[in-house]
Structure 1
Amino acid sequence: MIRIHAVTRRFGEVTALDGVSLEIEEGEFFALLGPSGCGKTTLLRVLAGFETPDSGTVTLDGQDLLGVPAHRRPVNLMFQSYALFPHMNVEKNIAYGLAREGLARAEIGERVAAVLATVGLTAHARRRPHQLSGGQRQRVALARAIVKRPRVLLLDEPLSALDKQVRAEMQLELKRLQHQVGITFLVVTHDQEEAMSLADRIAVLDRGRVQQVDTPVELYRHPRGRFVAGFVGANNVFSGRLLPSGGLDVPGVGVLPAPAGKAAGLVGVRPESIRLAAQGADAHLHGTVLDISYFGGSSRIAVTVPGLDRPVLLTVPGPATVTSGARVALSWDPESAVLIETTGDTP
């Protein structure tokens, strides 16, 4: 549906987008994920018509999108701040765009009533934004965006202003809405959990370049490049020489469990794959517990290991059975270690 090809955008000496190419399918929930300054919001603004790229093409259903003025594109943008009119009630906020288009009052009323029911705000139609909770204001902004029935809805950090509990509820609400209205959603976020829970596919950006495009499961299981491996979820990345018979020879540390390979390599081991082991043959690393974080259902343990520049992270169910300062041994299965492709790394 949307084809972005070799799009570049520079601001003086800063290259915000560096030859970005992506394809987004109709009806897909697509996420742009990356740290601040990676170019994801600039790309969103290019699609919305608020930025013009220095080079590259963007097409929608094969037709040039860049030549269409922002107000005529079948695209709607939901701002991070929601940008609701404080002097208008919910109903009038949602109806504003339709009224500007000159639609008949009866049609506006029908469409507003339908979208209010969709987002569960029928009972709040006459309230003003200051009388609503953060989650309700976000629903109004969503309703105002989808009532115009765009082909594509762009969402810029849509949940960042909400507290954790409301954010979790709205993640489910966004997915439900997207399936119900059948609009292609493109969301920009720096929150990995948000992207993983919402999107059908995710594009990870860093320094203006696309590092990897994949489903959440594949992105987590098979990251390409050190950046993706370290950015998407917690990961322990070890660098060394892969042995033909299996294992990764890490200088100053020893041979760690890993699949067989050749030459230099990067290996990632997720915290949930590492376990506390008994001292002896089953142990592959020895270190000292640096810190323990308890999350209710699980605990995250950080262990400093001589020869490694970063603590090794592991996740255990429930409360940790060790304390800070304790000497521990760590182990994992070779098949739990993932060889990280380096073709996705930015030169």
Structure 2
Amino acid sequence: MIEIKGVSHRFGRTRALDDVSLDIGEGEFSALLGPSGCGKTTLLRVLAGFETPDAGKVTLDGEDLLSVPPHRRPVNLMFQSFALFPHMSVERNVAYGLERERLPRREIRERVDAVLDTVGLTAYARRRPHELSGGQRQRVALARAIVKRPRLLLLDEPLSALDKQVRAEMQLELKRLQHEVGITFLVVTHDQEEAMSLADRIAVMNAGRIEQTDAPVTLYERPRTAFVAGFVGANNLFPGPDGITAVRPESIRICEGDGDGDPDAGGGRLTGTVVDVSFHGGTSHLAVRVPDLDRPVLVAVQGPSRVISGQQVSLSWPPDAAVHVPASTPVSPIEGEEP
């Protein structure tokens, strides 16, 4: 549905987007994932029409989108702050965009009633934003965004203002809403767990570029660059002559002693000292200091750990648990700046 091809953009000497290409399918829930300053919000603003790229093209159903003014694009943006009108009731907030389009009152009423029912806020229609919880305000913002029936809904860090429990509930709510209303969603987030739980496909961004686009499981199990391997989930990165070997903490087996006879040792074997053990309910996280490695090896085991800090252990992993990725290519410096 959306094709982004070769899009680049700068703010002065700062490179925000660097030859970005990405496809977004009809009805897809996609995510842009990356650290602060990687360009993901700038790309969102290009789609919304708030930024005009220096190069590249964006099409919707094959038609040029960049030439369409923001208010005429079938695209809606839900802001991180929710941006609700404090003096208006919930139903007036939701109806505002439709009223601006001068739709018939009956149609406005029907569409507002329907969307409030969808997000579970019918009983709160007459309340004002300050009378709602954070999760309820977020639902109002969502209702206001989807009531206009956009082809594409852009969500900029939509859950960052919520506490952990409400955020987990709203992740489920967002997925339910997206499937129910059938609108294509594109969410921007720096939260890996959020992206992995929400999206059908994730595009990982770094320094204005897309490093990899894949389904969450593929992205986690088979990263294609060193940045993705290190950014998506916890990972152990072992440098080698031809690149980097990545092994997830849950794939590493730990045993006391030298590990002789361990059937998993064919993939790799290290010996080190446990420097930290922490219990996280269903799993224990261990950090093992290994000679000649810059950082401790991370290990995740089910339940409480049997080993303690200071203990000598042997680590191993099966061959198919190791993923080999090329070393990162340095990003060329921007003209006029120091490398």
User: Does the 8 Å contact 1:29/1:178 carry over to 2?
Assistant: yes
Q: 1:46 maps to what in 2?
A: 46
2:322 corresponds to 1:322: no
Q: 2:249 maps to what in 1?
A: 271
Alignment of 1:77-96 (within 5 A): 77-96=77-96
Q: In structure 1, how many angstroms separate the alpha carbons of the residues matched to 2:325 and 2:331?
A: 14
Q: In structure 2, how many angstroms separate the alpha carbons of the residues matched to 1:294 and 1:340?
A: 31
Q: In structure 2, how many angstroms separate the alpha carbons of the residues matched to 1:344 and 1:151?
A: 37
User: Does the 8 Å contact 1:37/1:207 carry over to 2?
Assistant: yes
Aligned to 2:106, the other structure's residue is in SS state helix
Q: 1:173 maps to what in 2?
A: 173
The verdict on how the C-alpha distance between 1:134 and 1:128 changes in structure 2, with shifts beyond 3 A counting, is same
Match of 2:275 among 270, 273, 290: 290
Match of 2:316 among 331, 340, 343: 331
2:231 corresponds to 1:231: yes
User: Does the 8 Å contact 2:154/2:185 carry over to 1?
Assistant: yes
Q: CA deviation at 1:326?
A: 2.2
Q: Give a deviation string over 1:260-296, Cα, whole Å, max 9, x none.
A: xxxx232111000012123222472121222223221
The runs of 5 or more residues in structure 1 that have no matched partner are: 242-263
2:287 corresponds to 1:302: yes
User: Does the 8 Å contact 2:227/2:328 carry over to 1?
Assistant: no
Q: 1:119 maps to what in 2?
A: 119
The verdict on how the C-alpha distance between 1:146 and 1:38 changes in structure 2, with shifts beyond 3 A counting, is same
Q: In structure 2, how many angstroms separate the alpha carbons of the residues matched to 1:194 and 1:95?
A: 29
Q: In structure 1, how many angstroms separate the alpha carbons of the residues matched to 2:191 and 2:145?
A: 22
Q: CA deviation at 1:343?
A: 8.0
Q: In structure 1, how many angstroms separate the alpha carbons of the residues matched to 2:4 and 2:126?
A: 41
Aligned to 2:160, the other structure's residue is in SS state coil
2:17 corresponds to 1:8: no
Q: 1:248 maps to what in 2?
A: none
Q: In structure 1, how many angstroms separate the alpha carbons of the residues matched to 2:186 and 2:176?
A: 15
Q: In structure 1, how many angstroms separate the alpha carbons of the residues matched to 2:317 and 2:205?
A: 30
Q: CA deviation at 1:327?
A: 2.1
User: Does the 8 Å contact 1:289/1:324 carry over to 2?
Assistant: yes
Q: In structure 1, how many angstroms separate the alpha carbons of the residues matched to 2:91 and 2:10?
A: 40
What TM-score comes out, normalization by structure 1 length?
0.91
Q: Give a deviation string over 1:144-168, Cα, whole Å, max 9, x none.
A: 0000000000000001011111111
Worse overlay, 336-345 or 294-303: 336-345
Q: Percent identity?
A: 73
What TM-score comes out, normalization by structure 2 length?
0.93
AA at the equivalent of 2:91? E
Aligned to 2:107, the other structure's residue is in SS state helix
